[in-house]
């Protein structure tokens, strides 16, 4: 095969795989948002069939030969084409681990498990989800053992979400975070603040829906390219930069949805910032989940829970909720959005205690994937760890082990991305502060200079650069957990006058 023929094959296969992924992405989002409940009964089979077509395209001997040919000709192709071959080769190897029938069956399992999990959570019925979780764990363990038999299975899974992440580096990362933050968390717990009255008022879902539109505009999300749906567990999806879907979940408490929108909006800005020429190629999305979470947690916390953001935030809250927000000052809002107390739900946790929620999942996943913890033992282990790490009693599985969607899509190994992403974000912010007037812009309600900075350093590259290279360039050096913990210590020491 000549180099030109190989590039033609790459173009053709990539186009086919993109189209199939586009279809599966929309089917999945539809299933998670507006599709009728029972639609899951056949959607999984249809999606599995499409995944089989993608398998055939990517695993064809011609594709294998084309990728090999391009990878042997470094220097004779442009950088983008070479990188596309590299990334597609990784996808090829990932998929190649399983025979086609098993790959297709796994995709159906994931789709079905999502639907069963949603109902199980709604009905607080762990027993109905347990058999599927058992199958998912077995499938993930089998995949890891086949992919890299020489490695611990959990390391193989971690690497799927954050390239290079492994227990050897994550154990000390979490230990350092815990050691640094434990005294601050204890200090804060010893000086509890009362929940301000306005947070206990009723915020109607309709008013919250209108408010979300204003919030998206404030974050700079173009409504022609990004829409907001409603779902059990907020997420971001979308096949390309012109079609990004974020989701939220409305309850009477206004902050839950507010921060879901800002968080998912951060993911959306990343997707929408990837260069046009990378769209619909295998380089057209975020580099890794850790880097993706660095963008979402950047907007959610570093910006969304800053004092400066309270200026534009209070303005739109007063427009949308004039009665509930009457008399509330910027300072009061700042205190309210940074109330720190050990809680049950990860996605609603404050910045300070958040990483403990991730740590619990990390410990449980390690044990499950190693085969040291069974699905039957999981809820009790979950509840014990919430008692031990956070001092809270889990009242039911709905607010316990069933709260997150990740295990239902086989996402064991994903959670550490949230903690890593939070830490990456602080290092990026420190660099950004040296180059642009971050807080002046935020106070004015103009986040565009921040998004432009992130666009320049992270977004536009998609998967073009290798993750480590992209990250250290944006952070100005390697990951240093003490930068993250110092930021939190300083913020909460001030907020709680410790």
Q: Residues 198-221, buried b or exposed e (16+ Cβ, 10 A)?
A: bbeeebeeebbeebbebbbebbbb
Contact yes or no for 300/433 (Cβ under 8 A): no
CB of 253 to Zn ion, least distance (A): 20
Q: Residues 129-155, buried b or exposed e (16+ Cβ, 10 A)?
A: bbebbebbbebbbebbeebeeeebbbb
CB of 428 to Zn ion, least distance (A): 16
Sorted by sequence, the CB contacts under 8 Å of residue 10 that are 6+ apart come out as: 66, 67, 70, 81, 84, 85, 88
- Residue span binding Zn ion (CB under 5 A) among the ranges 13-21, 96-104, 193-201, 288-296: 288-296
Q: How many residues does the chain have?
A: 498
301 binds Zn ion, rule: CB under 5 A? no
| Nearest to 13, CA basis, from 71, 60, 50 | 60
247 binds Zn ion, rule: CB under 5 A? no
- Residue span binding Zn ion (CB under 5 A) among the ranges 53-61, 295-303, 429-437, 467-475: 295-303
CB of 287 to Zn ion, least distance (A): 14
231 binds Zn ion, rule: CB under 5 A? no
To the query of whether residue 433 is one of the catalytic residues in this protein, the response is no
Sorted by sequence, the CB contacts under 8 Å of residue 400 that are 6+ apart come out as: 344, 379, 382, 383, 386, 394
CB of 415 to Zn ion, least distance (A): 11
C-alpha torsion angle, residues 137, 139, 144, 150 (rounded to 10) = 90
Contact yes or no for 378/364 (Cβ under 8 A): yes
The burial of 39, by beta-carbon neighbours within 10 Å (0-12 exposed, 13-18 middle, 19 or more buried), is given as middle
Residue 243 bridge partners (DSSP): 240
Q: Which residue number, 296 or 353, has a Cβ lying nearer to Zn ion?
A: 296
Q: Which residue number, 296 or 383, has a Cβ lying nearer to Zn ion?
A: 296
Name the active-site residue from 264, 293, 300, 365. 264
Count of residues that bind Zn ion according to CB under 5 A: 1
Q: How far is Cα 161 from Cα 403, in angstroms, rounded to an integer?
A: 20
Q: Which residue number, 240 or 417, has a Cβ lying nearer to Zn ion?
A: 417
Q: Which residue number, 248 or 296, has a Cβ lying nearer to Zn ion?
A: 296
- Residue span binding Zn ion (CB under 5 A) among the ranges 25-33, 93-101, 172-180, 294-302: 294-302
CB of 318 to Zn ion, least distance (A): 28
Q: How far is Cα 355 from Cα 342, in angstroms, rounded to an integer?
A: 11
Q: How far is Cα 237 from Cα 227, in angstroms, rounded to an integer?
A: 10
Count CB atoms within 10 A of the CB of residue 269.
27
Of residues 315-374, those binding Zn ion (CB under 5 A): none
Q: Which residue number, 137 or 268, has a Cβ lying nearer to Zn ion?
A: 268
Q: Which residue number, 305 or 489, has a Cβ lying nearer to Zn ion?
A: 305
Q: Which residue number, 77 or 296, has a Cβ lying nearer to Zn ion?
A: 296
Q: Which residue number, 14 or 162, has a Cβ lying nearer to Zn ion?
A: 162
CB of 294 to Zn ion, least distance (A): 10
Q: How far is Cα 345 from Cα 7, in angstroms, rounded to an integer?
A: 48
237 binds Zn ion, rule: CB under 5 A? no
CB of 454 to Zn ion, least distance (A): 15
User: Strands 243-248 and 236-240, how do they pair?
Assistant: antiparallel
Q: Give, as one character, the DSSP assignment of residue 477.
A: S
Q: Is 244 helix (H, G, I), strand (E, B) or coil?
A: strand
Contact yes or no for 307/186 (Cβ under 8 A): no
Which of 111, 248, 296, 301 contacts Zn ion by CB under 5 A?
A: 296
CB of 300 to Zn ion, least distance (A): 8
String marking each residue 468-487 x if it binds Zn ion according to CB under 5 A: --------------------
CB of 296 to Zn ion, least distance (A): 4
CB of 488 to Zn ion, least distance (A): 19
| Nearest to 340, CA basis, from 487, 208, 493, 174 | 493
Q: How far is Cα 32 from Cα 237, in angstroms, rounded to an integer?
A: 11
- Residue span binding Zn ion (CB under 5 A) among the ranges 141-149, 210-218, 272-280, 291-299: 291-299
- Residue span binding Zn ion (CB under 5 A) among the ranges 63-71, 252-260, 290-298, 384-392: 290-298
Q: Which residue number, 44 or 265, has a Cβ lying nearer to Zn ion?
A: 265
User: Strands 236-240 and 226-230, how do they pair?
Assistant: unpaired
Q: Which residue number, 108 or 296, has a Cβ lying nearer to Zn ion?
A: 296
The burial of 62, by beta-carbon neighbours within 10 Å (0-12 exposed, 13-18 middle, 19 or more buried), is given as middle
- Residue span binding Zn ion (CB under 5 A) among the ranges 289-297, 392-400, 426-434, 452-460: 289-297
Closest CB to Zn ion belongs to which residue? 296
Q: Which residues bind Zn ion (CB under 5 A)?
A: 296
Q: Which residues are catalytic?
A: 264
């Amino acid at each position: 095969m000549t180099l030109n023929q190989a590039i033609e094959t790459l173009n053709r296969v990539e186009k086919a795989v993109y189209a199939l992924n586009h279809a599966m992405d929309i089917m999945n989002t539809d299933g998670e948002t507006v599709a009728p409940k029972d639609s899951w009964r056949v959607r999984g089979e249809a999606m599995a069939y499409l995944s089989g077509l993608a398998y055939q395209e990517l695993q064809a001997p011609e594709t294998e030969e084309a990728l090999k040919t391009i990878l042997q000709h470094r220097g004779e192709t442009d950088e983008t084409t070479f990188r596309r071959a590299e990334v597609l080769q990784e996808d090829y190897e990932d998929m190649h681990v399983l025979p086609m029938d098993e790959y297709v069956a796994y995709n159906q399992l994931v789709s079905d498990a999502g639907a069963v999990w949603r109902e199980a959570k709604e009905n607080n019925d762990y027993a109905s989800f347990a058999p599927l979780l058992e199958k998912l764990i077995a499938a993930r363990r089998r995949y890891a053992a086949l992919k890299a038999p020489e490695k611990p299975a959990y390391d193989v899974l971690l690497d799927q979400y954050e390239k290079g992440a492994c227990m050897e580096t994550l154990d000390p990362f979490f230990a350092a975070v815990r050691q640094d933050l434990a005294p601050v968390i204890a200090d804060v717990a010893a000086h509890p603040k009362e929940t301000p009255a306005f947070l206990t008022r009723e915020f109607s879902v309709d008013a919250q829906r209108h408010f979300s539109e204003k919030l998206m505009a404030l974050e700079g999300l173009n409504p022609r390219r990004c829409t907001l749906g409603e779902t059990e567990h907020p997420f971001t999806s979308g096949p390309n930069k012109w079609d990004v879907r974020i989701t939220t979940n409305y309850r009477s408490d206004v902050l839950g949805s507010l921060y879901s929108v800002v968080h998912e909006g951060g993911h959306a800005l990343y997707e929408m910032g990837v260069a046009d020429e990378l769209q619909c190629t295998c380089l057209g999305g975020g580099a890794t989940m850790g880097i993706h979470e660095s963008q979402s947690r950047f907007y959610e916390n570093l910006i969304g829970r800053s004092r400066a953001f309270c200026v534009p935030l209070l303005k739109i809250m007063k427009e949308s909720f004039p009665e509930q927000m009457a008399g509330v000052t910027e300072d009061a809002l700042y205190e309210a959005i940074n109330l720190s107390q050990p809680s049950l739900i990860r996605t609603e946790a404050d910045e300070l205690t958040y990483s403990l929620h991730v740590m619990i999942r990390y410990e449980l996943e390690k044990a499950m994937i190693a085969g040291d913890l069974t699905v039957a033992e999981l809820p009790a282990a979950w509840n014990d760890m919430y008692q031990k790490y956070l001092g809270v009693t889990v009242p039911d599985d709905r607010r316990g082990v069933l709260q997150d969607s990740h295990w239902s899509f086989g996402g064991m190994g994903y959670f550490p991305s949230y903690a890593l992403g939070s830490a990456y974000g602080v290092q990026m912010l420190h660099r950004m502060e040296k180059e642009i007037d971050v807080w002046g812009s935020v106070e004015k309600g103009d986040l565009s200079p921040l998004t432009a900075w992130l666009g320049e350093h992270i977004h536009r590259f998609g998967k073009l650069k290798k993750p480590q290279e992209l990250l250290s360039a944006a952070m100005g050096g390697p990951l240093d957990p003490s930068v993250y913990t110092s930021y939190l210590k300083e913020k909460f020491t001030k907020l709680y006058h410790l």
